[in-house]
Amino acid sequence: MAKRHLVWQLLSFALFFGLWELAGRWPVSLAFPPFSKTLLALLRMAADGSLLKAYLSTLQPLVLGIVLCGLAGIGFGIGMGLSRAIEWFSLPVFIILQAAPMAAMIPLITYIYGIGLTSKVLAVVFLAAPVIVMNSYKGIRNTNPSLIQMCRAFLGTRQQEVIKIILPHAGALIFAGLRLGLAMGFIGIVIAELLITPTGIGDLITYHSSVADYPEMFAAIASIIIIAALAIHGLERLEQKIFPPEIRGS
């Protein structure tokens, strides 16, 4: 079964890259290079160190933003789930943040905090935090009521109820929120580097686009997609190892 799944995955990749190669050689557009040229450009950029240098700049605000969201966002989401007062004050704010267009908020962030590291970290936080907070909140609120009633029937304290029942049951959904938050964080950092100031991977995309070096531009875009996909897949595999299927399904 696993081998068959792997075969289908490889076939899907081969079909996608094959269609990409054909579309690039057609050509669909002069700005759309074939897959072979993009792959060569990616290897060339990796070999000359330009990709590594770009990611050393890109990953700094991304990691800082995700760590802040992970610590504060999970704590805030748990607080919202356990306290009606915190939920009443905070839930509308995070619902609005989820719906707010990030590209429209970038000028406001830049006006207040400039074009430095702080603005890029905030761009990551504004996109990742609502997902992490809301998943943590939903995980707490969706705890099986029968488990809570059982704890109370055995005269369990509120602390025991939270530590032994609610948090373990909500753990999978909280972890899923981290995974989704990481995905939104990648989107946030790319938007920040394209709209605030061209640094890191955003600088590579902007520069190669401006000089009409389209294989390198597509290679830079492909690289951030690959890095994001690998990071999210790694978290998903870790989630599968930590939590049993019945908890993940809840």
Look up the CATH number of the domain holding residue 191. 1.10.3720.10
- Is 173 buried (19+), middle (13-18) or exposed (0-12) by CB count in 10 A? buried
Report yes or no on 146 lying in a domain. yes
- Is 84 buried (19+), middle (13-18) or exposed (0-12) by CB count in 10 A? exposed
Report yes or no on 206 lying in a domain. yes
Report yes or no on 218 lying in a domain. yes
| 27: preceding bond cis by omega (within 30 degrees) | yes
Report yes or no on 240 lying in a domain. yes
- Average pLDDT over every residue of 223-233: 90
- Average pLDDT over every residue of 199-228: 88
Q: Please determine, for residue 64, whether its predicted confidence score (pLDDT) is greater than 70.
A: yes
* 3-class state of residue 199 by DSSP: coil
Report yes or no on 227 lying in a domain. yes
Provide the sign of the torsion angle of the four alpha carbons 134, 139, 145, 150, taken in this order.
Answer: negative
Q: How many domains does the chain have?
A: 1
Torsion of CA 207, 46, 12, 7, to 10 degrees: -170
153-163 pLDDT tens trace: 777 777 777 77
Report yes or no on 216 lying in a domain. yes
Q: Report d(CA 90, CA 243) in Å as an integer.
A: 29
Buried b (16+ CB within 10 A) or exposed e, 20-38: bbeebeeeeeeeebbbebb
Report yes or no on 158 lying in a domain. yes
Q: Report d(CA 191, CA 189) in Å as an integer.
A: 5
Report yes or no on 226 lying in a domain. yes
pTM, to two decimals: 0.82
Q: Please determine, for residue 149, whether its predicted confidence score (pLDDT) is greater than 80.
A: no
Q: Report d(CA 117, CA 76) in Å as an integer.
A: 24
Domain that holds residue 142: 35-40+47-249
Q: Report d(CA 178, CA 74) in Å as an integer.
A: 9
